[in-house]
Structure 1
Amino acid sequence: MITIAANKDWLSLAQKALNGECLTLEDGLAVLEADNDEVLPLLQAVYRVRQHFYGKKVKLNMIINAKSGLCPEDCGYCSQSIVSTAPVKKYTLLDKDTLLAGAREAMARKAGTYCIVAAGKGPTDKELDQVVEAVKEIADTMPLKICACLGILKDDQAKRLAEAGVHRYNHNLNTSKANYPSITTTHTYDQRVETVEKVKTYGMSPCSGVIIGMGETNQEIVEMAFALRELDADSIPINFLNAIPGTPLENAGRTPAMKALKVLALFRLICPSKEIRVAGGREVNLRTLQPLSLYAANSVFVGDYLTTQGQEALADYQMIEDLGFEIEMCAL
């Protein structure tokens, strides 16, 4: 059992992060287990790190659910999995014109990154052909960064995506290695790590994050942050479980807003220079404290998620403006 000493010198942890030093497990636990009265001083310190690397810029990302509800995996959090009874839309991979229309919508919403996400263990060659065809046209005609999230990749598939113009590949770790078997049994934590390493080999920027609220301990949350630091993920989406009726985790409670802020602060301190994105479930879990999340995070999804709704884009624009921040436009 690790004993947590009182640690209210958050500025020293921020300086440690700025110096390139990794927090200890004890440091990380101190952040997560801080009294709620410490959240504002903690965010003040963490903002020094965020501002150093990103100033007042906020990156916007938009998702298109390119294939829905036909997944053979048993991920307990997902409404599209084979074990889910949630009433979600089911359709095969969207055609090129629909994917292109999604890219245009991403630009209209001021997103710099367009995320093509398809449910499944991994893409078939036919599905990959469709994605590659769309990506090539988007890359040739629109000033967008393209992120693909298609599951576990073969080497030749990773190579083709990179050559087509995919800038970033997302494959989340989701939870800790120890907690993984309680969430998913149809693939392993190590397979996810291997996929992230593979996309790096082919020159795509690695995007990998977590879902908070799936029964993990505070120590496991710190270990998840350490794992992503070790993987050198460039973009880290922090999702907070939105428990969907019909999924195995439907009765999981929401993460308290103050706890969610501490989690975001932790990931900023452990992965100081990386894009920290407050992602799925932010509206449900952070509620009225969403603006405070951007003192640690520098990126959000704009619009809807895969099978759940996000808040109106105008509300995000207003939140960013009211904070005195500004949207970072795409620069390829």
Structure 2
Amino acid sequence: MKSTLETPIPTEEKSLSEVPSVITREEAYAIVSGETPLTEALDKAYKVREKYFGKTVRIHVLDNIKNGHCPEDCGYCAQRKNANSGIQEYSVKSSEEIFEDAVKAKENGAYRFCMVTAGTGPNAPTTEKLALTIEKISKELGLKVCLSAGLLDQEKAERLKSAGLDRYNHNLNTSKAHYPEICDTHTYEQRVETITHLMKAGVGMCSGVIVGMGESLHDLVDVIFEIKNLRVISIPVNFFLPIAGHAIKNPQALSPEFCLRTLIAFRLVNPDSEVRIAAGREGHLRGLQGMALYAANSLFASGYLNVKGSDAAETIRTILDAGFYPEFSSGLGEEIDWEVALGKDHPYAPENFPDLYKYKKTKN
């Protein structure tokens, strides 16, 4: 089975969304509330997704380059101060360690390598270290790089851009009205200010949400349209993971259908933005992960910051099973024979059958 996809990989990505929403706030609310029939909403989303992204799916790999030791008190995070979540804490990895992680990410099919560090924001020496590491990964591996390092000023944003930074992640997470309920050590306005600095520097923004932290449906619609207003080009949609030590007051139970409807709303409000299924897809979307790709065009492989997720082979299989194709930093996957590439990992590969038999011969 070889891919015959004709849609070319873009040689140069946009840094800002340029296409207006195709639905109103009222229509977005009707989708997330369940008023609009699911098949009707999904069909509309798929037509928009196909127009701007064909049948490609971008795979991102996260590298948590510094874990814990964070002074911030974001209620959803395992790394927040006083969380006592049981995670292993470590200081910033060396440049050599980060580069080796990037090599592995590329080998596993990553389109973009995402470096994440805990903390309020990097100081000048750390910013320079990150800049030099980004430059090395970009030049020597040809791999696109995204960084998430907290609050930045204009000078630091400019330095990272000059190093070749492709994307910067700084999630809004929730609506302005709901933000004080999830964090009290920095403000929603500070997050927007950081996004503004990076956009002014010419860095494409990656900014999304965490769904299920006690927000109302109106809060959800508000942040979807705020992301649109900021013209964000890459949108990770996380579904809240109730990690040990979290401080979210009213976490919500999320059904697979609701998660799918949320992704549909993001696609229709942000037609030309990369919509990524992020943390929580395995446990919240469950059997609808493949269907979710009819709205989203991107996902993470090999886990999240502090929670395990699907490995690269399983992620690629999900993409192929749904009728889509993975997009690599070097191009599309149409030249790969996926039956050979995934053969040993397929549950029905001949060598796996002995472990699948319900009844086995017993030795005398």
1:117 aligns to what SS in structure 2?
Answer: strand
1:159 Cα shift? 1.1
Cα distance in 2 between the residues matched to 1:251 and 1:208: 23
Q: Which amino acid aligns with 2:91?
A: T
Say if 1:60 and 1:112, in contact at 8 Å, map to a contact too.
Answer: yes
Number of positions where the alignment pairs a residue of Structure 1 with one of Structure 2: 314
Q: Which residue of 1 aligns with 2:270?
A: 271
Contact residue 282 and residue 310 of structure 2 kept, 8 A:
yes
- Quick check: 1:241–1:254 contact (8 Å CA) kept in 2? no
Structure 1 residue 97 and structure 2 residue 92: aligned? no
Q: Quick check: 321-330 or 66-75, which moved more?
A: 321-330
- Structure 1 residue runs of 5 or longer lacking an equivalent are 1-17
Residue type at the aligned position of 1:77: Y
Deviation (angstroms), 1:35: 5.1
Whether 1:155 and 2:154 are equivalent positions in the alignment is: yes
Question: How far has the Cα of 1:62 moved from its partner?
Answer: 0.7
Segments of 5+ residues of structure 2 without an aligned counterpart are: 1-17, 332-364
Secondary structure of 1:161's match?
helix
1:85-105 superposed Cα distances (whole Å, 9 cap, x missing partner): 100111111100111011101
CA offsets per residue over residues 79-136 of structure 1, 9 Å max, x none?
A: 0000311001111111001110111011011111001100111012222222122111
Secondary structure (helix, strand or coil) at the match of 2:254 reads coil
State the one-letter code of the partner of 1:207: C
Q: Return the TM-score normalized by structure 1.
A: 0.91
Alpha-carbon distance between aligned partners in 2 of 1:127 and 1:307, rounded to the nearest angstrom: 22
Q: Does 1:146 align with 2:145?
A: yes
Partner Cα distance (2:51, 2:79) in 1: 39
User: What secondary structure, in the 3-state scheme, does the structure 2 residue paired with 1:177 have?
Assistant: coil
Counterpart for residue 41 of structure 1? 40
Find the counterpart in structure 1 of residue 192 from structure 2.
Answer: 193
Report the Cα distance in structure 1 between the residues aligned to 2:203 and 2:266, rounded to whole angstroms.
22
Other-structure match for 2:350: none
**Aligned residues of 2:21 and 2:271 also touching (Cα < 8 A):** no
Mapped partners of 1:22, 1:319: distance in 2: 28
Q: Secondary structure at the match of 1:305?
A: coil
Per-residue deviation, residues 236-265 of structure 1 (Å, max 9, x unmatched): 000000110111138724311100000000
When normalised by structure 2's length, the TM-score is 0.83
2:297 aligned partner: 298
Measured on the aligned residues, the alpha-carbon RMSD in Å equals 1.7
Quick one: which amino acid aligns to residue 31 of structure 1?
A: I
Q: Which amino acid aligns with 2:31?
A: V
Deviations 1:213-272, CA, capped at 9 Å, x for gaps: 011111111111110000000100000001101111387243111000000000001011
What is the CA deviation profile of residues 175-198 of structure 1, one whole-angstrom value per residue up to 9, with x for unaligned ones?
Answer: 000000010011000111111111
Q: Give the whole-Å Cα distance in 1 for the aligned partners of 2:290 and 2:35.
A: 20
Cα deviation for residue 313 of structure 1 reads 1.5
Q: Where does residue 123 of structure 1 map in the other structure?
A: 122
Structure-2 separation of matches of 1:278 and 1:174: 14
Distance 1:253 1:113 in 2: 31
- Structure 1 position 26 matched with structure 2 position 26: yes
Matching residue of 1:9: none
Task: Judge which range, 123-132 or 310-319, deviates more.
Answer: 123-132
How far apart are 1:304 and its partner, in Å? Answer: 1.4
Q: Closer, same or farther in 2 for the Cα pair 1:250/1:189, shift >3 Å?
A: closer
- Quote the Cα distance in structure 2 between the aligned partners of 1:320 and 1:91: 34
Partner of 1:210: 209
**1: CA distance between counterparts of 2:186 and 2:324?**
40
1:269-317 superposed Cα distances (whole Å, 9 cap, x missing partner): 1011100001011112111211111010000011111100011211111
SS of structure 1 residue aligned to 2:120: coil
> 1:29: Cα distance to partner?
1.0
CA contact 2:214–2:248 (8 Å) conserved in 1:
no
For residue 41 of structure 1, report the CA deviation from its aligned partner.
2.9
In the alignment, which residue of structure 1 is the partner of 2:343?
none
Q: CA deviation at 1:27?
A: 0.9
Task: State the distance in 1 between where 2:82 and 2:157 align.
Answer: 28
Instruction: Report the counterpart of residue 245 of structure 1 in structure 2.
Output: 244
Q: Distance in 2 between matches of 1:50 and 1:215?
A: 29
Residue aligning to 2:279: 280
Contact 2:213 2:250 in 1 (8 A): no
Deviation at 1:139, TM superposition (A): 1.4
Question: Are the aligned partners of 2:115 and 2:146 in contact in 1 as well (CA < 8 Å)?
Answer: yes
What is the CA distance between 1:329 and its match in structure 2?
Answer: 1.9
Q: Answer with 1 or 2: which has the greater Rg.
A: 2
